[in-house]
Amino acid sequence: MREIIFATKNPGKIREVNDIFKNSPIRLVSLFELSNVPEIIEDGLTFEENAKIKAELIFKTYGIPTMGDDSGLVVEQLDGRPGVFSARYAGESATDEENNERLLYELDGFSEPHHAKFVCSSAYFDGGKFLTAYGEVKGRIIKMPRGKNGFGYDPLFLPEGYTLTSGELSLEEKNKISHRAIAFKKLYSLILKAIII
């Protein structure tokens, strides 16, 4: 079985992407299984740039093919914020709850519906050409958090056509529609073609 590092420290992302790769000939290795993990500076201007930064640095550190993702919430009335700053909207080491509070604070005064989308860029690097893929899911932000599944802004995000928030959907349900599931299912096909397992 081949190993690919998934360059993330976010346990929610690990659960979701492991589920996508569960019947594949690939075993994902998370950063929690490795020692001396270098600090990743996400100073790219786009989601794709940041995804490539994660994959490249970790590949260069361990010499093992690596995938990364950069993702976030894009809110129309906030001119696309928090965008690439989604993880640190309420400050450098903000918790999910603090980020959710900041989001509701920023939206106060705007009329509903608060149209938004989750976006995800995924990247794979093994020393050759980068493979990249993109996914998004449209929806809207509600005023009161609902659900304990998922992570981040999930309790405030109602996907289009759904009555449950992403925080109320099961892992399997979220993986049918999410930005990350779309981006990683595409990336998986590209990886299979490129490495011919």
Query: So which residues are the catalytic ones?
Result: 70
- State the DSSP H helix or E strand holding residue 110, giving kind and residue range, or none if neither: none
Q: Closest-CB residue for ligand ITT?
A: 152
Give CA–CA dist 28/95, Å, rounded. 26
With CB under 6 A as the contact rule, the residue among 73, 75, 177, 187 that binds ligand ITT is 73
For residues 43-62, which are near ligand ITT according to CB under 6 A? none
- Asked whether the beta carbons of 155 and 95 are under 8 A apart, the reply is no
Interface with ligand ITT includes 121 (CB under 6 A)?
Answer: no
Binding flag, residue 13, ligand ITT (CB under 6 A): yes
Helix, strand, or coil here: 193? helix
Of the residues 99, 132, 165, 175, which one makes contact with ligand ITT according to CB under 6 A? 99
Provide, rounded to whole angstroms, the least separation between the CB of residue 163 and ligand ITT.
18
| Phi (first) and psi of residue 98, to 5 degrees | -65, -40
Instruction: Please state the φ and ψ torsions of residue 58, each to the nearest 5 degrees.
Output: -75, -35
Q: Is 108 left (phi over 0), alpha (psi -120 to 50) or beta?
A: beta
Task: Determine, following the binding rule CB under 6 A, whether residue 117 of this chain makes contact with ligand ITT.
Answer: no
Stretch that binds ligand ITT, among 71-79, 105-113, 126-134, 182-190 (CB under 6 A): 71-79
CA dihedral over 146, 137, 67, 53, signed as positive or negative: negative
Contact yes or no for 117/106 (Cβ under 8 A): no
Least CB distance to ligand ITT at residue 196 (A)? 28
Contact residues for ligand ITT (CB under 6 A)? 8-10, 13, 42, 70-73, 86-87, 99, 118, 150-154, 166, 178, 180
